[in-house]
């Protein structure tokens, strides 16, 4: 459902080059970085109509607010309503979406026929009821990852999504929509790194993750992440994005996970680890070493893939390749921009596709405008455009061929091309991984993952 | 004997009457079905391009004697047929040569040129559809093979971007299973004939200049329209 599976053996390195042919020519002229297509509208006198879609955001915690800020900068988004059970949360973000209706009851949004799509960013445990009701109401649904805290709930959501043939369902695995990662995917899958040795990823941020409220019930609800009955912890809530991404590049699902977790800094009564480590085993001996901590911020968030010919480092929307001295020369690398990382020379593979200036000589990113050209922005943009495309296709089918051909309509809608996005299957599979990863972390054991657990039935 | 003749005469009259009623009603209406496709092929100073829509809507009405079965006896000449067909502009999407989606920007420019600008207040566009109306259909030859096509010349009006032009094109009609008809044809038109300036959008290294002539290739599948339960006549 998410992207074309190309015949990897037929992937030609020259096609990789040709894919950015204009950019390549410019690279040869002046050493400019190779960058991915973004299909941005050309500047010029033609003012192109943008088809807007009325969308609502349900759940206005830190990530919900990030979503509202991001949608506010997407031309296709018409934020018609925002919802939270906490009035203070509504007030806090209202100015970003001044035309949006404010509500504490998500059902008013589902009853509103004008609102065609909803983004669900409530605490994980609350996703299911809202997602199922939204699909039943015929809304397109973007549901944050992990979809649920249990495999059973995730299965229920995924099967409902599968059956709602006129609705777009997108899981909040925003990396799956990032154009730079899609640019890298065939490159990595073609074996450009040589034989894969291992993978590593981390998420470091010194923060207590805690919100406060004078109301004890509200405080408990706000701090759902710190409670083992409502949270899959650092690895299930944060790590899942990075584990999913690496599995996507490696083209395999985890076979086993070993984990550790402890509270090293924030002993404030929480029962969820603030520091976790895990080894995720993929087939053929390729293991991913993961660590996440709320106790230290050094080096933030990144993912690494190590191969016998090169390693690739991915950080936010940028990527660099570090070649082994004995690996074959790829002609284009002579012209590519290079960045020094201590003793290593990184060949810049991908630059941010916006017009922001390139990193400085030390590899530090230039000042960038927030909330645009982030993976979340691409994910939400693709969600809205997929929803608009599906709506148009359904309306045009009925206008052209009649409204009585229901099966023909469903068959047609299934073939409408979708922009890159994680669907219900990826959403379901990442919950299987998240639940087992969290189990490994909380028990300190090695948990094997049976392939049939990943099948959606 | 006389009585018998009289009765049989009345029956004959009734039969004849009902036959003539049938003859008068023997127009068949065909409705558009899925499987239809409109393909537009064009050129530019950089590369050729192609656009497709999976929707051709509308109706075709044919009179008695219109070839709807393989191997029907038909004489060349003008046939009794009416067609009103349409394509929604927004369903036209640009494609790579292998059929994958090509470019949002190109789609946006194309729709803008075809649909016109959205009204600020009503949010409606002036020309959301491309429309065709047949004025004359002439049979040229019957199929050479059993499952071959009947070959026609079609004259009609094509309306897009608020401009209507007469177009003539050869059209093939092939009867299919389930009483469906497959109607195919190709015609080349010029954008400027419809008062559209061939788009010349800016790109990183200059401009793309689109070629004026474009080739329209269509395949329209129609099936007899299911009659609603009619009142007795």
Question: pLDDT (tens digit, 9 = 90+) per residue, A107-139?
Answer: 999 999 999 999 999 999 999 999 999 999 999
Mean pLDDT check: name the lowest of A33-47, A173-187, A244-258, B170-184.
A33-47
The pLDDT value recorded for residue A361 is: 63
> Any idea which residue has 């003749």 for tokens?
B5
Rounded distance between C-alpha atoms, residue B23 and residue B8, angstroms:
22
How many angstroms from the chain centroid is the CA of residue B135? 12
Residue B232 pLDDT > 50? no
Chain-chain contact of A396 with B55 (C-beta, under 8 angstroms): yes
Tell me phi and psi for residue A259, to 5 degrees: -140, 160
What would the 3-class secondary structure string for A289-341 be? EEEEECCCCCCCEEEEEEECCEEEEEECCEEEEEECCCCCCCHHHHCCCEEEE
- Please tell me which of the candidates A47, A400, A417 has its beta carbon nearest to residue B57: A400
Q: Which of A24, A35, A186, A396 to mutate to test the interface with B (most CBs of B within 10 A)?
A: A396
Mean pLDDT check: name the lowest of A150-159, A229-238, B68-77.
B68-77
Give, rounded to a whole angstrom, the gap between the first and last alpha carbons of chain A: 16
Q: Which residues of A240-251 are buried (b: 16+ CB within 10 A; e: fewer)?
A: bbbbbbbbbbbe
The edge-to-edge listing of strands for the beta sheet with A53-58 is A101-103, A77-83, A53-58, A117-120, A140-144, A169-172
CB A144 within 8 A of CB A116: no
From residue A236, alpha-carbon distances to A10, A72, A92, A160, A332 in Å are 36, 28, 28, 23, 39
Rounded distance between C-alpha atoms, residue A141 and residue A226, angstroms:
27
Minimum distance, in Å, between the CA of residue A165 and any CA atom of chain B: 18
Rounded distance between C-alpha atoms, residue A82 and residue A411, angstroms:
33
Q: What is the average pLDDT across B30-47?
A: 95
Quickly state the pLDDT bin for B6 (edges 50, 70, 90).
low
The pLDDT value recorded for residue A341 is: 87
Residue A235 pLDDT > 60? yes
Chain-chain contact of A400 with B199 (C-beta, under 8 angstroms): no
Residue A38 pLDDT > 60? no
Minimum distance, in Å, between the CA of residue A421 and any CA atom of chain B: 15
Residue A396 at interface with chain B, using a CB cutoff of 8 Å: yes
Quickly state the pLDDT bin for B233 (edges 50, 70, 90).
very low
The pLDDT value recorded for residue A1 is: 40
Q: What is the average pLDDT across B105-112?
A: 92
Chain-chain contact of A46 with B201 (C-beta, under 8 angstroms): yes
Please name each of the domains of chain A with its CATH number.
53-176+374-426 (3.40.50.720)
Rounded distance between C-alpha atoms, residue A156 and residue A158, angstroms:
6
Residue B153 pLDDT > 70? yes
Q: What is the average pLDDT across B74-79?
A: 92
Quickly state the pLDDT bin for A37 (edges 50, 70, 90).
very low
Residue A41 pLDDT > 80? no
Chain-chain contact of A40 with B105 (C-beta, under 8 angstroms): yes
Strand pairing report for A318-323 and A338-341: unpaired
CB B36 within 8 A of CB B54: yes
Residue A447 pLDDT > 60? yes
Listed by number, the residues of chain A in 263-292 with a beta carbon closer than 8 Å to a beta carbon of chain B are none
CB A192 within 8 A of CB A309: yes
Listed by number, the residues of chain A in 50-69 with a beta carbon closer than 8 Å to a beta carbon of chain B are 51
Quickly state the pLDDT bin for A317 (edges 50, 70, 90).
confident
Q: How many CB pairs under 8 A join A and B?
A: 76
Over the stretch A252-288, which tens digit does the pLDDT of each residue have?
Answer: 999 999 999 999 999 999 999 999 999 999 999 999 9
Q: What is the average pLDDT across A61-76?
A: 96
Beta strands in A7-129 (DSSP E): 53-58, 77-83, 101-103, 117-120
The pLDDT value recorded for residue A355 is: 39
Between A348 and A30, the higher pLDDT residue: A348
The pLDDT value recorded for residue B120 is: 83
Cβ-proximal residues to A366 (8 Å cutoff; 6+ apart), any chain: A356, A357, A358, A359, A360
Rounded distance between C-alpha atoms, residue A257 and residue A272, angstroms:
18
For residue A189, give the 3-state DSSP assignment: helix
The pLDDT value recorded for residue A206 is: 97
The residues that bridge with A305 in the sheet, in sequence order, are: A199, A312
Quickly state the pLDDT bin for B14 (edges 50, 70, 90).
low
CB A350 within 8 A of CB A19: no
Q: What is the average pLDDT across A87-112?
A: 96
User: pLDDT averaged over chain A?
Assistant: 88
CA dihedral A448, A449, A451, A454 (to 10 degrees): 170
Rounded distance between C-alpha atoms, residue A240 and residue A438, angstroms:
10
List CB contacts (< 8 A) between B202 and chain A: 42-44
Mean pLDDT check: name the lowest of A145-159, A395-409, B174-188, B191-205.
B191-205
Over the stretch A198-213, which tens digit does the pLDDT of each residue have?
Answer: 999 999 999 999 988 8
Give, rounded to a whole angstrom, the gap between the first and last alpha carbons of chain B: 34
Q: What is the average pLDDT across B32-50?
A: 95
Nearest by Cα to A110 from A90, A147, A142, A139: A139
Rounded distance between C-alpha atoms, residue B93 and residue B98, angstroms:
13
Domain boundaries, chain B: 27-224
Structure tokens at A376: 């979340």
> Any idea which residue has 């934020």 for tokens?
A79
Between A25 and A393, the higher pLDDT residue: A393
> Any idea which residue has 């016998």 for tokens?
A308
Residue B19 pLDDT > 80? no
From residue A330, alpha-carbon distances to A327, B189, B199 in Å are 9, 46, 38
Q: Please tell me which residue of chain A has the smallest CA distance to B117.
A: A49
List CB contacts (< 8 A) between A46 and chain B: 109, 112, 199, 201
Residue B230 pLDDT > 80? no
Residue B124 pLDDT > 50? yes
Rounded distance between C-alpha atoms, residue A349 and residue A327, angstroms:
17
CB B156 within 8 A of CB B166: yes
The pLDDT value recorded for residue A357 is: 53
Residue A405 at interface with chain B, using a CB cutoff of 8 Å: yes
The pLDDT value recorded for residue B144 is: 86
Residue A364 pLDDT > 80? no
Q: What is the average pLDDT across A180-204?
A: 93
Chain-chain contact of B88 with A44 (C-beta, under 8 angstroms): no
The residues that bridge with B182 in the sheet, in sequence order, are: B174, B221
Chain-chain contact of A49 with B115 (C-beta, under 8 angstroms): yes
**Hey, how many other C-beta atoms are within 10 angstroms of the C-beta on A73?**
17
Rounded distance between C-alpha atoms, residue B80 and residue B64, angstroms:
8
Cβ-proximal residues to B54 (8 Å cutoff; 6+ apart), any chain: A412, B34, B36, B37, B91
Q: What is the average pLDDT across A424-438?
A: 98
Interface confidence (ipTM) of the complex = 0.87
Architecture of domain B27-224: Beta Barrel (2.40)
Chain-chain contact of A49 with B101 (C-beta, under 8 angstroms): no
Rounded distance between C-alpha atoms, residue A207 and residue A300, angstroms:
12
Residue B126 at interface with chain A, using a CB cutoff of 8 Å: no
């Amino acid at each position: 459902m998410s992207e074309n599976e190309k015949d990897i053996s037929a992937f030609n390195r020259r096609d990789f080059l040709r894919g950015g042919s204009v950019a390549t020519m410019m690279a040869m002229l002046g050493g400019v970085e190779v960058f991915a297509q973004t299909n941005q509208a050309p500047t010029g006198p033609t003012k192109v109509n943008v088809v807007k879609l009325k969308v609502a955001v349900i759940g206005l915690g830190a990530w919900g607010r990030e979503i509202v800020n991001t949608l506010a900068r997407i031309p296709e988004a018409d934020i018609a309503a925002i919802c939270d059970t906490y009035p203070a949360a509504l007030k806090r973000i209202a100015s970003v979406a001044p035309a949006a209706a404010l509500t504490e009851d998500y059902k008013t949004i589902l009853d509103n026929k004008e609102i065609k799509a909803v983004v669900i960013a409530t605490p994980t445990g609350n996703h299911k009821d809202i997602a199922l009701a939204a699909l039943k109401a015929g809304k397109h649904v973007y549901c944050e990852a992990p979809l649920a805290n249990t495999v059973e709930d995730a299965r229920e959501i995924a099967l409902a999504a599968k059956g709602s043939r006129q609705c777009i369902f997108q899981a909040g695995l925003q990396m799956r929509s990032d154009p730079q990662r899609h640019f890298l995917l065939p490159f990595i899958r073609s074996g450009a790194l040589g034989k894969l040795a291992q993978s590593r990823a981390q998420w470091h941020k010194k923060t207590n993750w805690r919100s406060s409220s004078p109301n004890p019930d509200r405080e408990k609800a706000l701090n759902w992440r710190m409670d083992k009955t409502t949270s899959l912890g650092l690895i299930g809530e944060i790590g899942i994005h990075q584990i999913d991404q690496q599995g996507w590049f490696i083209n395999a699902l985890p076979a086993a996970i070993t984990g550790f977790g402890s509270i090293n800094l924030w002993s404030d009564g929480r029962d969820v680890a603030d520091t976790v480590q895990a080894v995720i085993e993929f087939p053929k001996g390729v293991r991913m070493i993961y660590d996440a901590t709320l106790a230290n911020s050094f080096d933030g968030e990144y993912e690494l893939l190590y191969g016998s010919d090169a390693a690739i480092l991915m950080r936010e929307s940028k990527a660099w390749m570090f070649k082994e001295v004995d690996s074959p020369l790829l002609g284009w690398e002579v012209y590519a921009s290079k960045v020094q990382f201590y003793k290593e020379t990184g060949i810049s593979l991908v630059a941010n596709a916006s017009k922001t200036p390139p990193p400085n000589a030390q590899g530090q990113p230039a000042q960038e405008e927030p909330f645009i050209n982030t993976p979340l922005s691409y994910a939400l943009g693709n969600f809205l455009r997929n929803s608009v495309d599906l709506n148009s296709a359904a309306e045009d089918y009925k206008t052209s061929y009649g409204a009585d051909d229901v099966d023909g309509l469903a068959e047609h809608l299934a073939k409408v091309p979708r922009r890159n996005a994680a669907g219900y299957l990826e959403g379901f599979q990442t919950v299987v991984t998240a639940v087992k990863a969290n189990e490994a972390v909380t028990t300190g054991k090695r948990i094997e993952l049976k392939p049939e657990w990943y099948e959606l039935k | 004997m006389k009585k018998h003749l009289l009765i049989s005469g009345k029956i004959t009259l009734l039969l004849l009457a009902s036959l003539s009623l049938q003859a008068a009603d023997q127009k068949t209406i065909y409705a558009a079905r899925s499987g239809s496709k409109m393909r537009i092929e064009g050129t530019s100073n950089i590369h050729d391009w192609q656009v497709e829509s999976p929707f051709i809507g509308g109706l075709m009405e044919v009179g008695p004697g219109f070839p709807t079965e393989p191997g029907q006896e038909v004489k060349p000449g003008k046939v009794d047929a009416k067609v009103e067909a349409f394509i929604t502009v927004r369903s036209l999407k640009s494609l790579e040569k292998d059929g994958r989606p090509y470019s949002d920007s190109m789609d946006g420019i194309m729709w803008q040129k075809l649909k016109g600008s959205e009204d600020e207040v009503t949010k409606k566009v002036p020309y959301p559809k491309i429309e065709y109306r047949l004025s004359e259909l002439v049979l040229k030859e019957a199929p050479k093979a059993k499952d071959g096509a009947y070959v026609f010349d079609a004259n009609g009006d094509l309306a897009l971007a608020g401009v209507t032009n007469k177009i003539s094109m050869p059209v093939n009609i092939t009867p299919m299973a389930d009483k469906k008809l497959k109607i195919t044809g190709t015609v080349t038109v010029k954008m400027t004939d419809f008062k559209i300036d061939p788009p010349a959008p800016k790109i990183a290294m200059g401009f793309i200049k689109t070629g004026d002539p474009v080739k329209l290739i269509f395949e329209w599948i129609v099936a007899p329209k299911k009659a609603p339960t009619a009142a007795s006549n």
